Structure 1
Amino acid sequence: MPAPSLEQLEQEARRRGLLLRLQVGRPAGLAWSLRLGVARRDGERLVLLGEIKGWALPRPAGLRLDTMRVQGENTAAVGPLIWAATFAWALEATPCRQATILAIRDSEAQHRRLVRYFRQLGFSPLRELDAGVADLAPRLIWGGAGLLMRADCVDGLRRSGRRLGLG
């Protein structure tokens, strides 16, 4: 079965009683900014269950992901939906074919959990960002020290789609 499209993922979200929304900007046509959220209706209001933020440079390894979070009850599908939609968006709307993320090193236990989680999504270690002078600029961009990891967007989409039961 082929990997799901962004439209198919939006339909899957609706089928599960969720709303999947993307907010994309492209100031001056240089790079894309992305904020992707999943919410549930609670009466008249929307409750944000999860989101990811990032940006995409117009090149194959240009997708940079940051600040992914999931919160609340009954959120088992939210993470896989966010990841699948993020990878699908990159493949459909940008030249990006690889994504990079930082498994931040706030605490060792949390860092190990992040690395394990990102590996399950198909991310592989790229390099450590430490306290060295050469790492100062990347640490400012990424917001801290940790392990930079990279994934293939097609593989990440397939893995996330399988977690949703879509392939």
Structure 2
Amino acid sequence: MTKPNLTLLEKEASERGLLLRIQVRRPLNIWSFKLVVGEITSNTKIQLLGEMKGWAYQNTKGLQLDTMKVGKNVNSKIGDLIWASTMAWALEETPCRSARLLAIYDENNQHEILQRYFRRRGFNTVRKVGSSPLDLPLRLVWGGAGAFMVGNCEKVFERSYRSWSE
């Protein structure tokens, strides 16, 4: 079997009645992306089911993941498709082999749920981002305090694709 790539994922999504699209911009040698999954509801309407936003640098510092949203009452496979597609794009089009994100600290229960969700995807907590002056750059980038987590793009892709394709 051929290793799945973004084109194959778009085809698989289409076969399930979904539309998968990625918009990439490259100002100042930084990839900025928005990946969306929608469902065609009529000839002229598409319902947005989920999205991922982030950016990547020219160097191998890693893929920076900023926003991941999946609509309420949406099949969990949509999240799997978003993760697999994002990682496939990063592995195909960028030098990034790792991904970074911040599990924002909103409230105890929600923060724990986020961390558990990201760990299942293949991310590990590197450190806590709090109110230290050393944390200021990360707080500015991600807009808050939380758990700074890093994952291997290939590992995240494999876990997500396996769940998507089941």
Normalising by structure 2, report the TM-score.
Answer: 0.95
Tell me which amino acid in the other structure corresponds to 2:24: V
Matched residue SS, 2:137:
helix
Matched residue SS, 1:164:
helix
Contact 2:49–2:74 (CA under 8 A) maintained in structure 1: no
Q: Could you report, residue by residue, the CA deviation over 1:50-86 in whole angstroms, capped at 9, with x for unpaired residues? A: 0010000122232000110100444222100000000
Tell me which amino acid in the other structure corresponds to 1:129: V
Counterpart-to-counterpart distance in 1, 2:103 and 2:73: 24
Q: 1:65 to 1:83 in 2, by over 3 A?
A: same
1:8 is displaced (CA, Å) by 1.0
Q: Which runs of 5+ in 1 are unaligned?
A: none
Q: What is the aligned partner in structure 2 of residue 21 from structure 1?
A: 21
RMSD of equivalent CA atoms: 1.3
Counterpart-to-counterpart distance in 2, 1:101 and 1:74: 23
Tell me which amino acid in the other structure corresponds to 1:65: L
Q: Comparing both chains, which one has the higher relative contact order based on Cα–Cα distances under 8 Å and sequence gaps of 6 or more?
A: 1
Matched residue SS, 2:76:
coil
Counterpart-to-counterpart distance in 2, 1:75 and 1:9: 17
1:165 is displaced (CA, Å) by 2.1
Tell me which amino acid in the other structure corresponds to 1:40: E
Q: 1:95 to 1:55 in 2, by over 3 A?
A: same
Q: 1:47 to 1:2 in 2, by over 3 A?
A: same
Q: Which runs of 5+ in 2 are unaligned?
A: none
Runs of 4 or more consecutive aligned structure 1 residues displaced over 4 Å after TM superposition = none
Percent identical among aligned pairs is 48
Q: What is the aligned partner in structure 2 of residue 8 from structure 1?
A: 8
Q: What is the aligned partner in structure 2 of residue 151 from structure 1?
A: 151
Q: What is the aligned partner in structure 1 of residue 130 from structure 2?
A: 130
1:3 is displaced (CA, Å) by 4.5
Counterpart-to-counterpart distance in 2, 1:165 and 1:40: 18
Counterpart-to-counterpart distance in 2, 1:106 and 1:73: 22
Q: What is the aligned partner in structure 2 of residue 50 from structure 1?
A: 50
Contact 1:122–1:159 (CA under 8 A) maintained in structure 2: yes
**Size of the alignment, in residue pairs?**
165
Tell me which amino acid in the other structure corresponds to 1:116: R
Normalising by structure 1, report the TM-score.
Answer: 0.94
